[in-house]
Structure 1
Amino acid sequence: MLKRKRFGWPLPAALALAAVGFVSPLPGHAESGVTLTHVHGLAYSADGTRLYIPSHYGLAVYNEGHWTKAPGPQHDYMGFSATRDRFYSSGHPAPGTGLKNPFGLIRSDDGGKTWQHLGLEGESDFHVLATGYETNVIYVYNPHPNSRMREPGIYYTLDDGFAWRRAQAKGLGGDVIALAVHPSDPKTVAAATDQGIFLSRDAAATFEPLLRNRQGLAVYFDLDGKRLWAATFHGQPALTQIDLEARQKTPVTLPPLTRDAVAYIAQNPKHRDEYAIATFERNVYLTRDGGKTWTRIADRGRTL
């Protein structure tokens, strides 16, 4: 069952809604006044110039210190994930479009301006969706049966949803919160659950624990495939880099997060020392030195 929960304090309504909200411009302000009412994901453009935050009403874009709304339909994007050439998402259509709700799986090849339906429209809304940056493999956690997935669980497709395969996910403990796929190996996938962080090397058939006895929140593979970033909560928020070969775990210094935690992580494909994180309370930070120092670019949804 999909949940983002149990961070060690009563879950405030704002935190619970942070995963299912929207982006909208401040009334009476120019697009530079875009406010992040909620956050549904985080991804850089392939050229590294734009940071995208998908939402309930379209995409917010951060570019060279300025915030705008991206051109394209103002859909409610959920499970948003980017590869080198494409965006993939699920979610719900904007009001008045006449499109089937929910989307199932959709794809954009032009930065979100237009979207192609890949199946399961009117059936499934995948809140947990991850893609391989170079391979375009797609993994989802499906909470309910549909016409192509007979039971809940982790599924993956190598052909844009034409055929889905169910993963056995042996050894994976707890409720699935987030997934991440290795950029070049379609069989390597990480999972965050309410019991920790887990890794699979066999297309999610089996998992081994990397971090246990803590709330897993987010996972992200470096684009060179050598490290996994893992966001967790155990009394306080934490971000850890895990070397996939040596299994060395290195804590990353986080900016001050009060009653908050990391929900999404992304790396700039052109400037590999630059990362972005977004939190449940709609704070967004950038680092240009691999996580040593952070600059806030959104403060509880107010873009800076």
Structure 2
Amino acid sequence: MKHLKWGLLSFTSINLLLAACSNDEQKEYFIKAENETIEHIHGAGYWSKEGTPVIATHGGPFEYRDGTWYKTSRNNHDYMGFQTIKDGFYSSGHPEEGSDLKNPLGLVKSTDKGESLEKLAFYGETDFHYLGASYESGTVYTYNEAQNSKMGQGFFYSKNKGEDWTQLELNGMTSTSIGGLDIHPSKDNMIAIYGEEGVFLSKNYGNDFSLIPTTSMVTSLTFKEDSMVYSMLENDKVSLHEISLNDQKKDSSLVAPSLDKENIPIYLEVNPLKEGEMMMVTSMNDVFVSKRQEKKWNKILSKGEIK
């Protein structure tokens, strides 16, 4: 009888162990993405110590590693203005359906790929579509589209995680419309705002801007340590260029994926850990990566479809 009793206890223990393993599997945060169609991409970058490519979507972040796309199994929030930084990411946007979080998210930060969110500012009040941040310092810039509790309409930056905000003076900014903005990875005083006329560059927190004119509209831009890389639409074809921050008249042409006016680059990101690596996201939800100083581009997502 003692032997039978021991056997029953052993069987129960095995069941408990299997149940524990099952619960652990359910807790896996990133799972392989299969038969997915991503309809909207609202940001891109490289995160974690490995410099993993990531895109922000209506259904949470998707990261690409070892030739495979992975998605979050929970906290699948609609991230807007997504911006990776050294210790995580900033974002705005809207909580997933059924979430207890307020809508909109305001400015939030995560240091664990979105498993938890730190509510920094304007929680339940504002949705920022335009965000930028310095990778090293975390200084965050935003364009505020409508009056909220602290800011009117316009460009602002914060050096203390959204507690205090300073409005950009925008002297020399003559454009009436913008395509986007980007912040230097280590020099948080340097911001570029780009659009139809070219690139407006500031080296003093957006107080004064100088125009770097281009021959056509700039559709996306990213900083390297000593240069900027940007895409343009020239004669209905996409071209890629690099310009030195020291000699702003020196413009080099780079190899670009074969794209036209129907599918323009909307996000361009340099891997801050490996400057030779770059990612490009297009308006038709194609994602390209380059690991050889922009000499060759590989498509890792086509029209948002993950098989």
Per-residue deviation at 1:283?
0.7
Cα displacement string for residues 27-66 of structure 1 (whole angstroms, at most 9, x for unaligned residues):
xxx6243332221111112323521110111011110100
Superposition TM-score, scaled by structure 1 size: 0.85
SS at match of 1:176: coil
CA contact (8 A) 1:32 1:66 kept: no
Equivalent positions of 1:61-210 (< 5 A) are: 61-150=63-152, 152-172=153-173, 173-210=175-212
* Seq. identity, %: 30
Partner residue, 1:3: none
SS at match of 2:43: coil
CA contact (8 A) 1:90 1:126 kept: yes
Per-residue deviation at 1:213?
5.4
CA contact (8 A) 1:83 1:132 kept: yes
Quick one: which of 237, 241, 261 aligns to 2:264?
A: 261
Partner residue, 1:241: 242
Q: Give me the whole-angstrom Cα distance separating, in 1, the residues matched to 2:296 and 2:55.
A: 21
1:35 maps to a residue whose letter is T
Q: Give me the whole-angstrom Cα distance separating, in 2, the residues matched to 1:214 and 1:123.
A: 37
Partner residue, 1:232: 232
Partner residue, 1:283: 286
CA contact (8 A) 2:265 2:283 kept: yes
SS at match of 2:41: coil
Equivalent positions of 1:30-45 (< 5 A) are: 31-45=33-47
Cα displacement string for residues 182-211 of structure 1 (whole angstroms, at most 9, x for unaligned residues):
111111111112332110011011111113
Find out whether 1:55 has 2:57 as its counterpart. Answer: yes
**Which one is further off, 156-165 or 230-239?**
230-239
Structure 2 gap segments, 5+ residues each? 1-31
Q: Give me the whole-angstrom Cα distance separating, in 1, the residues matched to 2:73 and 2:270.
A: 23
Partner residue, 1:217: 219
Partner residue, 2:23: none
Cα displacement string for residues 238-287 of structure 1 (whole angstroms, at most 9, x for unaligned residues):
22111101221112221111321111112223333111111111111111
- Please tell me the root mean square deviation across aligned C-alpha atoms, in Å: 1.8
Quick one: which of 298, 302, 306 aligns to 1:303?
A: 306
Taking structure 1 as reference, are residues 154 and 49 closer, same or farther at Cα in structure 2, changes over 3 Å only?
A: closer
**Which one is further off, 276-285 or 97-106?**
97-106
Q: Give me the whole-angstrom Cα distance separating, in 2, the residues matched to 1:271 and 1:131.
A: 18
Q: Which one scores higher on RCO, CA 8 angstroms, separation ≥ 6?
A: 1
Taking structure 1 as reference, are residues 49 and 167 closer, same or farther at Cα in structure 2, changes over 3 Å only?
A: closer
Cα displacement string for residues 58-91 of structure 1 (whole angstroms, at most 9, x for unaligned residues):
0111101001103541111000001111200011
SS at match of 1:90: strand
Structure 1 gap segments, 5+ residues each? 1-29
CA contact (8 A) 2:185 2:272 kept: no
1:268 maps to a residue whose letter is N
Q: Give me the whole-angstrom Cα distance separating, in 1, the residues matched to 2:178 and 2:64.
A: 29
Superposition TM-score, scaled by structure 2 size: 0.84
CA contact (8 A) 1:33 1:67 kept: no
2:304 maps to a residue whose letter is G
| Higher CA-based Rg | 2
2:201 maps to a residue whose letter is L
CA contact (8 A) 2:83 2:131 kept: yes
2:219 maps to a residue whose letter is L
Q: Give me the whole-angstrom Cα distance separating, in 2, the residues matched to 1:76 and 1:94.
A: 6
Cα displacement string for residues 74-125 of structure 1 (whole angstroms, at most 9, x for unaligned residues):
1110000011112000111111113221111000011221111111122211
